[in-house]
Amino acid sequence: MAFPTERPRRLRRTETLRRMVRETTLSTDDLIWPMFVKSKGKDEAIDAMPGVFRYNPSRAAEEASKAFAAGIPAVILFGIPDSKDALGSASWEEDGVIQQAVRKIKKAVPEMIVMADVCLCEYTDHGHCGVIKDGEVDNDATLDLLARQAVSFVKAGADVVAPSDMMDGRVGFIRDELDNSGFTDRAIMAYSVKYASSFYGPFREAAGSAPEFGDRKGYQMDPANEREAFREVELDLEEGADIIMVKPALAFLDVISSVRQITDLPIAAFNVSGEYSMVKAAANAGMIDERQIVMEILTGIKRAGADLILTYHARDVAGWLEGRR
């Protein structure tokens, strides 16, 4: 049967009808809010990311509490340490910025899920995600440091650790070390499919984590590749990942969609800094309707197959979803 019998417009006639046949819905339950934490001082605005701030641990706990009250179940923390060295040792200190923030957030809102990004680039003086040997990022020597960091975050109370370094074997290595330390109950959200993307530019300004030399193409994935994503996902599944992440989101919706076909685990997608900044710049220039654009983008990421979305828009979205009811 076809036109004139078939008329798809019949189900688009009123908002209530559209609501009834809607296939994808965005909920605050899907959101993970990324936060930048520094050791002390006033909130610091990040020029490249309007509306995003670096908070000290106490302020981070206040803002996380407000986010939880607004319906956002989880935050993911990125640390800006006071000092950096070749190994990133500030990241596993008992009183490091993340450790302090985790303790304060868990105390303020125990039910909130606190995730901690595990990587060295924010803590190393050279800005790479691993240890440098002979001018290269050494995979195997990095694993031990990542695990030290992960165990330290979890000891402070983190519910989930999220390795973003892209070293081979790190998920299994971190899983073993968590288990050996008695933390069999804490989850790993693996940045399994992480591309070497220019969309991370604003984040590197926010976190002060740009590499001093070279780039990350020797460990992060080539944006041209999709089959390689399957290989990365399969390895992380074998190594014990609990949540699989694809990052960035917008230029990689096809990858989210095909990863959906090969795993039953929850999939998270990272709506990264550059994606956020582009929307903010266009909105602040009066070129687009920010609210409509953000809802369309996040709904698209869910429709592609993501269960969870890490997004700097989380607080705004929670407000809009609340207002809609």
Instruction: Point out which residues bind ligand PBG (CB under 6 A).
Output: 117, 119, 121, 129, 164, 200, 203-204, 209, 216, 272-273
Whole-angstrom Cα distance, residue 73 to residue 155? 21
Q: Which residues pair with 190 in a beta bridge?
A: 244
Q: What is the DSSP letter of 47?
A: T
Whole-angstrom Cα distance, residue 175 to residue 160? 11
Which one of the spans 1-9, 120-128, 131-139, 231-239 is the region binding Zn ion (CB under 5 A)? 120-128
* CB 114, CB 73: distance < 8 Å: no
Nearer to ligand PBG, 99 or 197 (CB): 197
Q: Which residues are catalytic?
A: 194, 247
Candidates 64, 70, 129, 269: give the one binding Zn ion (CB under 5 A).
Answer: 129
Q: Is the dihedral of CA 190, 122, 217, 300 positive or negative?
A: positive
User: Could you say whether residue 167 binds Zn ion (CB under 5 A)?
Assistant: no
Q: Which two tokens stand for residue 66?
A: 């407000």
* CB 185, CB 178: distance < 8 Å: no
The continuous run of DSSP H or E covering 269 comes out as strand 267-271
Question: Taking the complex as a whole, how short is the minimal distance between the CB of residue 251 and ligand PBG, in angstroms?
Answer: 13
Question: Taking the complex as a whole, how short is the minimal distance between the CB of residue 296 and Zn ion, in angstroms?
Answer: 30
Angular region, 37: left φ>0, alpha ψ -120 to 50, beta rest = beta
Whole-angstrom Cα distance, residue 243 to residue 72? 18
* 227 annotated to a ligand binding site: no
Question: Taking the complex as a whole, how short is the minimal distance between the CB of residue 207 and Zn ion, in angstroms?
Answer: 9
Whole-angstrom Cα distance, residue 253 to residue 246? 9
């070497």: which residue's tokens? 196
Question: Taking the complex as a whole, how short is the minimal distance between the CB of residue 130 and Zn ion, in angstroms?
Answer: 8
Number of residues that bind Zn ion (CB under 5 A): 3
232 binds, among ligand PBG, Zn ion, none (CB under 5 to 8 A by kind): none
Whole-angstrom Cα distance, residue 186 to residue 214? 34
3-state SS assignment for residue 176: helix
Question: Taking the complex as a whole, how short is the minimal distance between the CB of residue 98 and Zn ion, in angstroms?
Answer: 14
User: Could you say whether residue 151 binds Zn ion (CB under 5 A)?
Assistant: no
Nearer to ligand PBG, 117 or 232 (CB): 117
User: Could you say whether residue 265 binds Zn ion (CB under 5 A)?
Assistant: no
Candidates 49, 61, 67, 121: give the one binding Zn ion (CB under 5 A).
Answer: 121
* 216 annotated to a ligand binding site: yes
Candidates 118, 119, 237, 250: give the one binding Zn ion (CB under 5 A).
Answer: 119
Which one of the spans 8-16, 113-121, 267-275, 287-295 is the region binding Zn ion (CB under 5 A)? 113-121
Residue ranges of the annotated binding site are 119, 121, 129, 204, 216, 232, 273, 312
Chain residues in the site for Zn ion (CB under 5 A): 119, 121, 129
